[in-house]
Structure 1
Amino acid sequence: MRIGIVCPYSFDVPGGVQNHVMDLAEALIGLGHQVSVLAPADEDSELPAYVVPAGRAVPLPYNGSVARIAFGPVSTARVRRWIIRGDFDVLHVHEPLTLSLSMLAVLSARGPVVATFHTAMTRSRVLSAAQGALRIVLERITARIAVSALARKVQVEHLDGGAVEIPNGVTVRKYAGVDPLPGWPGECAPGVGGSIGFLGRFTEARKGFPILRDAFVELARQRPGLRLLVAGPGDPDDLYGRFPADLRERVDFLGRVSEADKARMLRSVHLYVAPNTGGESFGMILTEALAAGTTVVASDLDAFRRVLDQGRAGCLFPNGDAVALRTILGELLDDPVRRAALTACGDQVVAGFDWPVVARRVVEVYAAAIEATDGRVIDQEWVGLG
């Protein structure tokens, strides 16, 4: 099968959707399909062979974060050329309702289109107000995929349709068995040591880092060997300035990490903490931590509950409650038997998220979309946007 995949966000900056697209592409290639990915990226960027760069992206505030997208006449022309050259059996676009390459690809497509929706904004005034303008985009989509029940809810509440729920995948083999970083995770003697990890933008409010910081500071006063490992974008001075001077030496900041180092980072801690406060439709980092064999502690967001099998594959704490988080962290660090039980359950759960398993489900949607269009090609003038 010849498959064209469109990523709306820049490959020059790592992100959940970008990682999803790359992992899906590699899983599909592993299943024997021909795959080409179109994404915003500089022409001289180091990219996998299957990725076609569509030029530099511009930042756009979106869903409490900043998305880097490409749009306009030049992007439109590049999308059209890529579609013509690819002669795809199916086109798979991600987040087609943002001003992005994905929207341009839908409007330029001449065959079956599958769209994956990642966002879980269940009460969006923007979507409601723009529903008429977006109707033309939705009408050109043959089949829809939602990465979570919350993302699917957007389809039902705002977009007059349903979607097949297929979760984000994780390449388990990339995380299982990798070596931890030198000197980590260290000792975890009762009441003394232990290591905790966090990955993400510590300056972004919805990632909940202040909640983890407060819990760590109080717990570190009780446990002289406790350490915190932080990875993600940001200024080191800004991070260390958020901690009391006497505890800063127990905080290690890796900065932005590669995918390989992310796996090592997750293997380097006794507990991975996801203190996010909202805006999450799935929780990719949770499945990655589970794949690494690390015990997960997460806020009780609905999306996180679903990934962690309602708390059987990881420990949940009340959203925003630093005191409850501190208590749970201390109890888990002192209870290796409970950590092992959570990890064992996590191994079973994450097997269902392994990319080869997920990719086969996506291929089933492709086949249904192709069958629904019966091989027809839309014979029409290209849509002009600019």
Structure 2
Amino acid sequence: MVPYSLDVPGGVATHVLGLARWLQGRGHEPWVFAPGVGRVDAAVPVTLLGAAVALPFNGSVARLALRPSQSRALLAGLTGFDVAHVHEPLTPGVGFAAASRCPVPLVVTHHAAFTPRTPVTQLLRRRALRLPNRVSLAVSPSAAALVNTIGAGEPRIVPNAIELPTPPEARTGRPRVVFVGRLTERRKGYEAFVEAAGLVPEADFIAVGPGGSGAPKVTELGRLTDEALGEVLAGAAVLVAPNLFGESFGMVLVEALARGVAVVASDLPAFRAVASDADVVGFFPVGDVSAAVARIRERLAQPCDPFAAWRLARRFSWDVVGPHIEDAYQRATLPVPDGGPADTKPR
């Protein structure tokens, strides 16, 4: 269950749909529930819960289904499944409704990582106390730290994952430097990418994602399908991730590495948790465009081995990560002395 609208691209939705496809390939019968009104090409069954409301949060915009009727429809839909997997269980709307009133054994995954202010901490702690017995996961140490801060237990870390492509080949021709993310979202750091484009004339700069500023030195491709994004990355020399804050996992880094692309990224804990091999990944201080340009030029002058990048991404493939989630589903259905499932109980 995804609490965020599938009408807008996002890391949680990408993760959940990829997981559902992997589970289906393993012979399971997954079914995805999420807000949204548009058409979803997911290759797995999806039930859309209707329109979402845009709420600014953590430097981003969360599009959530908040109507009670949407929560009732979701809870009715969950009845009859062997286990429910709710992502971001403390999120307002259908996410918290599904987790707090789940009619079947429950697994939750926490994705968010931020430093909550005291009122937010208190709110999240109250919500966590209302969750039933569950198996609790987090996608990164940063996300797990937030869960621990609000007293919601100590989740097991199971990272996001990707459908690993075939090993890449070496690039030829004029180098391309790529940005992937929402261009108008400040925390993604797109302004730094635009500034860097004007300082590195020896490469073509390409941006993928919704929004746009008409930057003269950047080719802005807008939102692409997963297949088209893969093609763009396959032709890139460097991915730049100049994010400023609010990241719990470097999914875009993993996607680039899987295509054999070198990474230049802000020095954020979530990004270092993905990869820190200096032959493939270079970090720069958050917001330091001059340092970012220096790292880009270093990587252009000495391209990384595409296969080495691919190997770094391999540990985030579904064939590696997926079995840990299957194990969580098995644990959720095991009985415990009080008759409920799971390894995290209300406190």
Pairwise same-fold verdict (TM > 0.5): yes
Aligned: 1:332 with 2:299: yes
Residue 232 (structure 1) aligns with: 209
Q: CA deviation at 1:213?
A: 2.1
Mean CA deviation greater in 48-57 or 15-24? 48-57
2:167–2:310: 8 Å Cα contact kept in structure 1? no
Give the letter for the 2:311 counterpart. Q
Match of 2:162 in 1: 170
Aligned to 1:213: 194
* Distance of 1:91 and 1:280 partners within structure 2: 26
Q: CA RMSD of the aligned region, Å?
A: 2.3
- The letter for the 2-side match of 1:299 is S
Distance 1:131 1:114, change over 3 A: same
The answer to whether the aligner puts 1:57 opposite 2:49 as a matched pair is no
Taking the aligned partners of 2:23 and 2:326, their CA distance within structure 1 comes to 8
Q: Which residue of 2 aligns with 1:191?
A: none
Between Structure 1 and Structure 2, which shows a larger proportion of helix residues? 1
Taking structure 1 as the reference length, the TM-score comes to 0.82
SS in 2 for 1:307: coil
1:316-342 deviation line (CA, Å, top 9, x unaligned): 122211111111211221123xx12xx
Structure 2 partner of 1:267: 234
1:94/1:329 CA distance change after superposition, 3 Å:
same
Tell me if structure 2 keeps the 8 A contact 1:115–1:144. yes
* Contact in 1 for aligned 2:162/2:316 (Cα 8 Å): yes
Once the two structures are superposed, the pairs formed by residues 10-25 of structure 1 within 5 Å of their partners are 10-25=5-20
The range that moved more, 102-111 or 10-19, is: 102-111
Q: Which amino acid counterpart does residue 158 of structure 2 have in structure 1?
A: I
Task: State the shift of 1:122 in Å.
Answer: 3.4
Q: CA deviation at 1:298?
A: 0.8
Q: Distance in 2 between matches of 1:131 and 1:196?
A: 40
Counterpart in the other structure of 2:28: 33
**Partner of residue 366, structure 1:** 329
Give aligned pairs, total. Answer: 340
Trace 1:1-386 onto structure 2 (pairs within 5 A): 6-42=1-37, 45-48=39-42, 49-84=44-79, 87-131=80-124, 133-138=126-131, 140-173=132-165, 187-188=173-174, 194-220=175-201, 223=202, 226-235=203-212, 238-240=213-215, 248=216, 250-309=217-276, 311=278, 313-336=280-303, 339-340=304-305, 343-373=306-336
Which runs of 4 or more aligned residues in structure 1 lie more than 6 Å from their structure 2 counterparts after TM superposition? none
8 Å CA contact 1:296–1:314 kept in 2: the answer is yes
Larger Rg: 1
Equivalent residues of 2:168, 2:310 under 8 A apart: no
Identify unmatched segments of 5+ residues in structure 2: 342-347
1:50, distance to aligned residue in structure 2 (A): 1.2
Alpha-carbon separation, structure 1, partners of 2:295 and 2:20: 38
Unaligned runs of 5+ in 1: 1-5, 189-193, 241-247, 379-386
* Normalised TM-score (structure 2): 0.91
Q: Answer with 121-130 or 255-264: which moved more.
A: 121-130
CA deviations on 1:61-105 (whole Å, 9 max, x unpaired) are: 122111111122211221122022xx1111100001111322111
* 1:202 to partner: Cα distance: 2.1
Pairwise CA distance, 1:126:
4.1
Residue deviations 1:218-249, cap 9 Å, x none?
A: 222xx3xx2111111114xx232xxxxxxx2x
Change in CA separation of 1:124 and 1:31 when aligned onto 2, cut-off 3 Å: farther
* Secondary structure of the structure 2 residue equivalent to 1:145: strand
Percent identity reads 34
Counterpart of 2:345?
none
